[in-house]
Amino acid sequence: MTESMEREEQKRLQEQLINLLKENEIDAFREEFLDMHPYDQGQFFEELDEDLRFALYEMLSPEEMANIFEQVEVPEEDYQDLLSEMHPMFAADMLAEMSTDDAVDVLNELDKEQVASYLTIMDEEAADEIKELLHYEEYTAGSIMTTEFIAIKANQTVRSAMQILRREAPGAETIYYTFVVDEQKHLVGVISLRDLIVADEETMISDVMSERVVAVSVAEDQEEVARIMRDYNFLALPVVDFQQHLLGIITVDDVIDVMDEEASDDYSKLAGISDVDDTAGNSPFGAAKKRLPWLIILLFLGMMTASLIGRFEDTLNQVAILAIFIPLIGGMAGNTGTQALAVAVRGIATGEIQEEGKLKLLVREALTGVITGGSCGIAVTLVVYVWQGDFILGALVGISVFATLIVATLTGAFIPLFMHRLKIDPAVASGPFITTINDLISILIYFGLATTFMGYLK
Amino acid sequence: MTESMEREEQKRLQEQLINLLKENEIDAFREEFLDMHPYDQGQFFEELDEDLRFALYEMLSPEEMANIFEQVEVPEEDYQDLLSEMHPMFAADMLAEMSTDDAVDVLNELDKEQVASYLTIMDEEAADEIKELLHYEEYTAGSIMTTEFIAIKANQTVRSAMQILRREAPGAETIYYTFVVDEQKHLVGVISLRDLIVADEETMISDVMSERVVAVSVAEDQEEVARIMRDYNFLALPVVDFQQHLLGIITVDDVIDVMDEEASDDYSKLAGISDVDDTAGNSPFGAAKKRLPWLIILLFLGMMTASLIGRFEDTLNQVAILAIFIPLIGGMAGNTGTQALAVAVRGIATGEIQEEGKLKLLVREALTGVITGGSCGIAVTLVVYVWQGDFILGALVGISVFATLIVATLTGAFIPLFMHRLKIDPAVASGPFITTINDLISILIYFGLATTFMGYLK
């Protein structure tokens, strides 16, 4: 099937489902709808208007709705509205049926009183599991883990472990890794389902499990969790407290979402925009709201640049030609700074740059600045000399480019490293911010040199 | 264990292993080393110098070395050197033992003659599997899939399927999803190991398998593959040809690498640098080489800006104060363009923006430009008026900001969309490129307006 045919097909199915909803054809609707993948169900749900959503809630059980709701991605503030559309008992049951980690994600978007009221009317066991997860800080391992894992004992046979797995499979987040705990719930080992099914049924778990189990602390940064799962190709990672008690597991699908979120976050900040995603259906006002804060900050930084140039008004009045190279020098400074920034931010994010590697990186960046600055400086000198027939002017612009590129490269690398040391997310030293700072520096260098050597200019 | 303690521990182990290598203590080395996770083995290998690598090759079998080599990440040109250090037969055996997709990744970095010679001396079956994958284009589903999957028939029982799984488990990339094919190898269904182990052993596969199986074409872009696996939370995805024959599978760990690669790629391009990663151990010359091409291009674009301002030299000579707002206007234009660019590039990458949504996005961006331009324009007018006491100058700068922001926002959105239409990766319209183009446009608007209304300026 070609892609456009597939899209046609989907559109047809969607229209058919909407008709069945409108005509209240419960059985026909359920037969078609429940046959779809939960992700597609979620996509369908997101497209519905309020009336059709009400019709849908009538036709589905809280459990069926839970599968859909796990897939729904709407702006954070909309979760509250969606839940209040449902009967409170229906909503509470749905939350109880969702994967604990997904339910917690939804609850985190609600008012405290609302959370409390749902937890009160909810099935007690589910409420307890959710409460346990609710208090972990955002962006930590605890906030993305689930407590629906299967734990077994070391002193049981493979056969009895398989029985547990078969029994627990429907409720567990994954059964492909099973974690082994001792009597005090300390994590002592791990065994994959792959190893379980090839092992002899009478073997003891302690003989086939791996004791080299990589675990993360519940307070670990989610970015570090993603790094470990990527490097070690795990499908699930156990989460422990400081005494090595097994608290939960993180599955690979959650880590993929984290990676996506972090990549989009770094990207947004490099572009100077508060959130680059959820474009679809966003109004121009919504888009402007995300961009204006940055633009206003930059406006005032730009005013500082303007007032800085204003101080050199005498120089400018005498040699107006100087003005034509302002964008060139400022642009080069901004770009080289952004390059150095990007390398440093990615290096920190991927864990390539550790504390001990920072000085090395700065030295490397300084030398890189000398090389790029030297090359560009010579090129500029020659071009300006040939073009304007004034070697002194050429040298002035060239030397400014040389000095600017070294300083800008160092600034671009230093600021994120310094922020990381202060435990601030280095990505907030966003692209436009670095660009504008380097703009300022470049003008100071350029006009400083020009004023000093003005006597020599034609 | 705290993180620094863990690092201490790792360092100690590494030193111990190096000593064992140096003293040729085969048994002690193997016992310690083979107990490590392959990723850690790979990290250890990357740190070794040539002599120690030779010692290592002596101590390990091709199969053991294959596990390590699958994890090794070195600059592309180094794979050739590493392989030529090994005895050719050892290297060929190692390649044969590697996962087919990983072996193909390595072979893709070598000269054609070298590839041919390894394939000739290699085990024939492995060579055939590798040859099959070698001809798929980079960045397609075919290039990241593996042929080591398990396929079963619909008309067999769960019991017999489990027997196949147990037998094939050691060689297969994953056993958690099993794909069902008919006599002609057409893909007809899928069943997870989870469903297999809870099913009754005498049930027929056709009764428990899911027929709604999502597959990708072998020519599909790897970014689209990653998007599907992320949205549907799959652990493995089947790859088919145009007649729906099952050719291979893609596993989630490969998709994580793709996501990482693509995110880093988009990020690099936004920063105007050819590859933001592999910072560690990179020389300043290496770093400069990756940045200079962009800087040189920007230098010449900057010269165009300079010559454009040069055309307004008369205006500048008469009203030198105009020069002080050049960086402000250019900076705002560059930033707003980068914001719009980032939104468009991400929207295309995540599949949020389809062909039909492009016009809508452009209209949205134009309106966003009107809002941000209007707000910033009014702010600038007032600030400049208060500061310079010249309302006309204020209005001139403010109107320039207003007009520039609209045009720059549209340019930032339009260029990536246009490139996408031309089937060029939209991310090549990198941040610095858009910034510089918008610099040019902003100056044209600013000086154009200034020259026209110069008579009114103080």
Q: What is the pLDDT of residues A83-110, one digit of tens each?
A: 989 999 999 999 999 988 889 889 888 8
H helix intervals, B244-390: 252-271, 284-310, 313-318, 326-349, 358-388
Partner-chain contact B323 A326, CB within 8 Å: yes
Query: Long-range CB contacts (< 8 A, 24+ apart) of A31-34?
Result: A34/A64
> What is the phi/psi pair of residue B8, to 5°?
-55, -50
Cβ A320 vs Cβ B322: under 8 Å: no
A284 alpha-carbon distance from chain centroid: 24
ipTM, interface predicted TM-score of the complex: 0.76
Query: Does the beta carbon of A34 lie under 8 angstroms from any beta carbon of chain B?
Result: no
Query: Does the beta carbon of B356 lie under 8 angstroms from any beta carbon of chain A?
Result: no
The structure tokens listed for B65 are 């070395």
Instruction: Give the residue on B whose Cα is nearest the Cα of A335.
Output: B432
Q: How far is A442 from chain B (nearest CA, A)?
A: 11
Q: How far is B250 from chain A (nearest CA, A)?
A: 14
Task: Work out the angle at residue A171's Cα, subtended by the Cα atoms of residues A165 and A176, and round it to the nearest 5 degrees.
Answer: 45
Q: Rounded CA gap, A312 and A308, in Å?
A: 7
The structure tokens listed for B209 are 């398998």
Evaluated on CA atoms A430, A432, A438, A440, the torsion sign reads negative
pLDDT of residue B231: 87
Query: Does the beta carbon of A266 lie under 8 angstroms from any beta carbon of chain B?
Result: yes
3 state SS of A181 = strand
The structure tokens listed for A344 are 């440093």
Q: Rounded CA gap, A129 and A131, in Å?
A: 6
The residue of B31, B71, B233 whose CB has the most chain A CBs within 10 angstroms, and thus the best one to mutate to test that interface, is: B233
Q: Rounded CA gap, A98 and A229, in Å?
A: 24
3 state SS of A370 = helix
Partner-chain contact A279 B352, CB within 8 Å: yes
Partner-chain contact B252 A235, CB within 8 Å: yes
3 state SS of B236 = strand
Residue numbers in B near A250 (CB within 8 A): none
pLDDT of residue B321: 82
Residue-level length of chain B: 458
Name the residue with higher pLDDT: B73 or B256. Answer: B256
Of A35, A309, A375, the CB nearest to B323: A309
B425 alpha-carbon distance from chain centroid: 12
The residue of B176, B368, B388 whose CB has the most chain A CBs within 10 angstroms, and thus the best one to mutate to test that interface, is: B368
**% of chain B exceeding 70 in pLDDT:** 95
**Which residue, among A70, A74, A222, A229, has the nearest Cα to A138 in the 3D structure?**
A222
Q: Rounded CA gap, B224 and A404, in Å?
A: 41
Lowest mean pLDDT among A332-336, B10-14, B315-319, B450-454: B315-319
- Could you tell me which CATH number the domain at A3-135 has? 1.25.60.10
Q: How confident is the model at residue B424 (pLDDT cuts 50, 70, 90)?
A: confident
pLDDT of residue A431: 74
Query: Does the beta carbon of A331 lie under 8 angstroms from any beta carbon of chain B?
Result: yes
Partner-chain contact B328 A302, CB within 8 Å: yes
> Chain B window 182-201: which residues touch A at a Cβ cutoff of 8 Å?
193-194, 197-198
Q: Rounded CA gap, B41 and B69, in Å?
A: 9
Q: Would you say residue B191 has pLDDT above 90?
A: yes
Q: How confident is the model at residue B187 (pLDDT cuts 50, 70, 90)?
A: very high
Domain ranges (residues) in chain A:
3-135, 151-260, 284-456
Lowest mean pLDDT among B187-201, B252-266, B376-390: B252-266
Query: Does the beta carbon of B352 lie under 8 angstroms from any beta carbon of chain A?
Result: yes
Q: How confident is the model at residue B1 (pLDDT cuts 50, 70, 90)?
A: very low
Instruction: Give the residue on B whose Cα is nearest the Cα of A406.
Output: B288
Query: Does the beta carbon of A248 lie under 8 angstroms from any beta carbon of chain B?
Result: no
Partner-chain contact A324 B330, CB within 8 Å: no
- Domain B284-456 belongs to what architecture? Orthogonal Bundle (1.10)
Query: Does the beta carbon of A101 lie under 8 angstroms from any beta carbon of chain B?
Result: no
Output DSSP code: residue A116. Answer: H
Residues sharing a CB contact under 8 Å with residue B329, sequence separation 6 or more, in sequence order? A302, B397, B400, B401, B404, B442, B443, B445, B446
Indicate the Cα dihedral angle A408, A411, A412, A416, nearest 10°: 180
Q: How many alpha carbons lie under 13 Å from residue A209 in its C-beta half-sphere?
A: 25
Residue numbers in A near B347 (CB within 8 A): 279-280
Query: Does the beta carbon of A171 lie under 8 angstroms from any beta carbon of chain B?
Result: no
Q: What is the pLDDT of residues B209-232, one digit of tens each?
A: 988 888 999 999 898 899 899 888
| Residues with pLDDT less than 50, chain A | 1-2, 279-280
Size of interface A-B (CB pairs under 8 A): 350
Q: Rounded CA gap, B344 and A337, in Å?
A: 23
Query: Does the beta carbon of B272 lie under 8 angstroms from any beta carbon of chain A?
Result: yes
pLDDT of residue B95: 92
Query: Long-range CB contacts (< 8 A, 24+ apart) of A233-239?
Result: A233/B39, A233/B253, A234/A177, A235/A174, A235/A176, A235/A177, A235/B176, A235/B235, A235/B252, A236/A149, A236/A173, A236/A174, A236/A176, A236/A177, A238/A149, A238/A179, A238/A187, A238/A190, A238/A213, A239/A141, A239/A142, A239/A145, A239/A215
Q: What is the pLDDT of residues A111-153, one digit of tens each?
A: 888 889 899 999 888 898 888 888 888 889 998 998 889 999 9
> Chain B window 382-441: which residues touch A at a Cβ cutoff of 8 Å?
383, 387, 405, 431-432, 435-436, 439
Query: Does the beta carbon of B82 lie under 8 angstroms from any beta carbon of chain A?
Result: no
Q: Does domain B151-254 have CATH number 3.10.580.10?
A: yes
The structure tokens listed for A322 are 């100087």
Task: Work out the angle at residue B96's Cα, subtended by the Cα atoms of residues B95 and B100, and round it to the nearest 5 degrees.
Answer: 85
Residue numbers in A near B230 (CB within 8 A): 253, 256-257, 260
Instruction: Give the residue on A whose Cα is nearest the Cα of B166.
Output: A198
**Which residue, among A137, A76, A64, A85, has the nearest Cα to A107 in the 3D structure?**
A76
Q: How far is A452 from chain B (nearest CA, A)?
A: 19
The residue of B167, B279, B301, B360 whose CB has the most chain A CBs within 10 angstroms, and thus the best one to mutate to test that interface, is: B279
Residue numbers in A near B379 (CB within 8 A): 296, 299
pLDDT of residue A209: 92
Q: Which fold has domain A151-260?
A: CBS-domain (3.10.580)
**Which residue, among B151, B160, B153, has the nearest Cα to B201 in the 3D structure?**
B160
Average model confidence (pLDDT) across chain A? 86
Q: Rounded CA gap, B382 and B261, in Å?
A: 46
Q: How far is A53 from chain B (nearest CA, A)?
A: 22
Partner-chain contact B343 A287, CB within 8 Å: yes
Query: Does the beta carbon of B374 lie under 8 angstroms from any beta carbon of chain A?
Result: no
Average model confidence (pLDDT) across chain B? 86
pLDDT of residue A294: 77
Of A302, A341, A361, the CB nearest to B331: A302
The residue of B187, B296, B328, B438 whose CB has the most chain A CBs within 10 angstroms, and thus the best one to mutate to test that interface, is: B328
Residue numbers in B near A272 (CB within 8 A): 335, 338-339
Residue numbers in A near B273 (CB within 8 A): 339, 342-343
Residue numbers in A near B271 (CB within 8 A): 270, 338-339, 341-342, 431
Residue numbers in B near A434 (CB within 8 A): none
Q: What is the pLDDT of residues B318-361, one digit of tens each?
A: 777 888 888 888 888 888 888 888 888 888 777 777 766 788 88
> Chain A window 119-148: which residues touch B at a Cβ cutoff of 8 Å?
none
Partner-chain contact A375 B288, CB within 8 Å: yes
Give chain A's end-to-end CA distance (angstroms, integer).
Answer: 71
Residues sharing a CB contact under 8 Å with residue A116, sequence separation 6 or more, in sequence order? none
Cβ B378 vs Cβ A295: under 8 Å: no
Residue numbers in A near B357 (CB within 8 A): 280
Residue numbers in A near B309 (CB within 8 A): 323-324, 327
Q: What is the pLDDT of residues B130-184, one digit of tens each?
A: 888 888 888 899 989 988 889 999 999 999 999 999 898 887 888 889 999 999 9
Instruction: Give the residue on B whose Cα is nearest the Cα of A273.
Output: B339
Residue-level length of chain A: 458
Q: How far is A10 from chain B (nearest CA, A)?
A: 13
Query: Does the beta carbon of B204 lie under 8 angstroms from any beta carbon of chain A?
Result: no
pLDDT of residue B404: 92
pLDDT of residue A280: 45
